[in-house]
A and B are shown apart, each in its own frame.
Chain A
Amino acid sequence: MATKTSTKAKPKPNMQLVKAVSSSAAKKVQSAPVFEKKTLTGAEIVIQALVDNGVDTIFGYPGGAVLPIYDAIFQQKKVKHVLVRHEQAALHAAEGYARSTGKVGCALVTSGPGATNAVTGLTDALLDSIPVVCFSGQVPTFLIGTDAFQEADTTGITRQCTKQNYLVRDVKALAGTIHEAFHVAKSGRPGPVIIDLPKDVQFAPGPYTPPAQADLSRYQPRTMPDLSKIEDAVEMIANAKRPVFYTGGGVINAGAGASKLLTEFVHMTGAPITTTLMGLGAYPMSDKQFLGMLGMHGTYEANLAMHDCDVMVNIGARFDDRVTGRLDAFSPESKKIHIDIDASSINKNVRVDLGIVADSEEALRAMIAVWKKRKYKMDAGVMKIWWAQIEKWRAIKCLSYQKTDKVIKPQYALERLQYFLSKQKKEVFITTEVGQHQMWAAQFLKFDQPHHFMTSGGLGTMGYGFPAAVGVQMAHPNAMVVDVAGDASILMNIQEMSTAVQYRLPVKIFILNNQWMGMVKQWQELLHGERYSNSYTESLPDFVKLAEAYGGVGFRAHTPAELDDVIQKMLKTDCVTIVDVCVDQTENCFPMIPSGKAHNEMILSADAKKFDKTLV
C-alpha cells in the first residue's frame, strides 16, 4: 500500500546531465554537496544534513516508509549504511559508535514496528545520556491517524524515552529540524532524539540550509560554572579530612579533556576516587588513588569510603539507587558537592550541600585554577590517617574468590582475558551485556582511558553488548572489540552475528556460560529461598556451532587449562568469534549491597543467612 505514494515522486533526473548544468548553483548552498542537483528531495536533504553534521555511518533496517531515504543512500558514498538484523540493534550499535567516538550515533528505521523496536534502544540512550539521532519513516501525512499499514504514533510513543522528538510535516522545516536534532542530542546532557519523517515529506522537493544557518538559540544549556561556587567547593575539598571523589558518565560525556583534568585534579589533592559503572575509564583504573567501582557490586573500599567520608565530590554522576543503597543511611556524615550539567539531577535523589550546574570539563578546569591560585594543599597528616583506613578496607581483598583448577571461575576467565588484552598492541574496547558477567567485567577488567567501556548502566538492557560492539568496531575497524556476555543476554540480539559476518567485523564474543540467568539466580538464591523460578535455560544452543552456522568462528573452554589457549586463539581470528567459556554454575557476584541496605552493610560472601529476607 505504502509504495503507491511513490507516484508523487518526481522521476530521478539523469545525474550526469544535472552535474554539468548545476554545479555552480549547488556550490552556493554548501561546500560539499552530496547530490549534484539544484533541488533536493526530503530524502536527499536527510543525507546531506547527515554529511554536514559529520555522520559517516548510519545503522538501520529498511521498510516501506523509509524507502526514499534508502534510495538516496544507494546513490551516494559519503554515508555508509550498516544493515542490522533488528532495529533495537541499530540503536545499540549507534550507542556503541557514539560512546566510543564521542560523536553522535545515527540510526534509521521504518515506521510502525521499526519505530517500536527502536524504543528500547532510545530508552537505553536516554538513561545513559548517549547522543543518538534516529530517523524513522512514517506513513504519508495524509494517512496519519487512519491506522494505515505500519502506522504507529511514533512521536507519541517515544516522547518519554527521548530528549526531544520531531514529526516533520513540511519539507521546508526538514533541514533546520535535523540540525537542531544533532545540536540537542549532543549539547548539555546528551540524549537520544528521534525525527519522524512521513513518506511524502521524503519525496517532496525542498530547500536545504547548512548547519551554520540553523537557528539553535532556543536550546543553549549552561556549561560554565558559577565561579563563587567553584571557590566554595575547592575550599571544602582543601579543608576535608576524609574526602572522596565520586565521578560518573558525565565526565566521559564531557570528552577526553575532562578525564585528563579529573586525573590532574585528583592527583593534586591526593584524595581517593571511585567511579560509577558508567564512569569507568574516566580515571585510570590502575592508579593507586582509584578505589574501584562503587555501588551494589562495587568494591568494599569504595563503598566504605563513600559511607565514612566527610566531603564527597560528585562530578557527573546522579546518585542512582544502585549506587546510593538505602538513601537515609547514605554517607550520613558528609558534606556533598554535586557538579552536574543537568540542574534537575541536583537534589533529585540526595540533598547536597553545594550544587553546581556545569559541564564537568569546565568545572574541573575552574577548580584546578582556584586550587593553584590559592596554593591549597591537603593536610598530609590527616590524609595519611584517611589512607591508612582505606588501606585497611583494601586489605580485605573483597574481589578475591576461591581458585580451583577443576572448573573455570568466571572471575578467573576475566582475569585471563585482561592479561591477554593488556598485551594487545591493538586498541581494546569492551562492551558488556547485562547481569553477573557485566559486574565481573567492571570489577576485573581495567580501563585507563575513557570511551573504551560500553555498557548498559541505567536501563540494564540485556542484548546491548553485541550490537554495541558492532557499532564500536565500525567506528574503529582496526581495534580489538570484545563483548563480555552471558549465555542468556547474548541470545537477545544473537541475530547480529549476521551483521558482523556481512561487514567482516571481527568482534569477539566472550560468553561466561553458566546456563543460568546468573543475576536472577543470584537473587533467587539469596533472597527467594533458592526457588529458581524460570532462571535456568534448559536448551541453550551449541554456541560453537551457532557461530559456524553464521559464518563465524567458535571456540569452547571447559577447564581452566584450556582457557588461555582459547583466549589466544580468539584474539587472533579475523572474523566474528564466539568463545563459549563454561564457567562455574554456582558462582555468585560479590561483594554486594543488598537492595535497600546501606553502604556499610555490604556483604562479602555467599552466606545467605546474612541477608534480611524481608527486604526484597
Chain B
Amino acid sequence: MVRKSQQDKKSVYGAAPEQDPILSHTLAVIVDNEPGVLARVIGLFSGRGYNIESLTVAETDGSKKLSRITIVCSGTVHVIEQIHHQLGRLVAVHDVYNLTVEGAHIDRELALLKVRGKNDKRIEALRVADIFRARVVDSTLESFVFEITGSSEKVNAFVDLMTPLGLVEIARTGVAAMSRGKEGVHDGK
C-alpha cells in the first residue's frame, strides 16, 4: 500500500496530483434530521475540496427524525475513502454506505422538462417521450411538461433529444439510490 511513485515533483507541498482514475461513487448517508446537518455535510465537501455531482435529501423516518442524503461524488479510490470516513465522524451522521462498492444498486432520478413547440416538433417530442416512457404531466396547445424517471444517463439522453425539439426548462431531483437484494440498511439496528 505504501506509495512509491518516485517521479520527480516540483511542488513543495509534496504529494503529486493523484494518478489513480477518477470514479463516481454513490453514498447513502443516514443523518439526524436537525438544523445544520446538510450545511455540515456540504461544508465538508467544499472545505476539503471534494466534488459533489449530485445530492438529494429528504426525511425518511419521521418517528426517529432521520433523513437520508444520497450523494454522488467523484474522486480517486483514496479520496472516496476519505469522504466516507470524514462523513462518518460527524456527530449527526448515523451511517454511511458506499453503494457503489457494497454491491449492485439502483439509482434513479426524476426530471421535469418543459418543451415548447408546434406541429411536427410537438408530435416528435411526444413520440420521443413515449419511447423513453416519460409521462405528460402538463399540456397546452404549444407545450408539454414531461416527467421522466430513470438513471442519470437515461435522463441525459432524453434531455439531449428534447433540446432541438424546443426544450425551455429542466428541473432534476438528483439521484436517489438503494442497494439491490433483500438486505436493508436498517437491518440489525
Contact = CB atoms under 8 A, between A and B. Distances in A.
Interface of A: 155-156, 159-160, 163-165, 167, 184, 188-189, 218-219, 221, 321, 324-328, 330, 332, 334-336, 342-344, 346-349, 351-353, 595-596, 614-616
Contacts of A325: 14
Interface in B2-24: 2-7, 9-16
B91 A218 contact: yes
A159 B39 contact: yes
A616 B12 CA distance: 7
Shortest beta-carbon contacts, A-B, top 4: A596-B12, A327-B14, A344-B85, A164-B91
B9 A328 contact: yes
A264 to B, nearest CB: 29
6 contacts: A156-B39, A159-B40, A160-B43, A165-B36, A347-B81, A352-B1
Q: Which of B11, B35, B81, B91 has the most CB of A within 10 A?
A: B91
Interface of B: 1-7, 9-16, 32, 35-36, 39-40, 43, 47, 78, 81-82, 85-86, 88-92, 94
A159 B43 contact: yes
B142 to A, nearest CB: 42
Nearest to B86: A344
Contacts of B4: 328, 332
The secondary-structure label for the interface of chain A is: loop
A512 B49 CA distance: 39
Contact of A328 (B16, B40, B92): B16
Nearest to B46: A160
B96 to A, nearest CB: 11
A334 B14 contact: no
Contacts of A184: 91
Nearest to A164: B91
A160 B6 contact: no
Given A321-B14, A596-B14, A615-B12, A218 B94 contact: yes
Contact of B14 (A221, A324, A346): A324
A327 to B, nearest CB: 4
A326 B36 contact: no
Given A165-B36, A326-B14, A344-B82, A351 B89 contact: no
A438 to B, nearest CB: 22
A353 B1 CA distance: 6
A129 to B, nearest CB: 12
Contacts of A221: 89
A615 B10 CA distance: 8
Contact of A596 (B2, B11, B40): B11
A347 B2 contact: no
B32 A218 contact: yes
A351 B3 contact: yes
Given A156-B39, A160-B43, A343 B88 contact: yes
Nearest to B93: A218
A348 B49 CA distance: 14
A324 B14 CA distance: 9
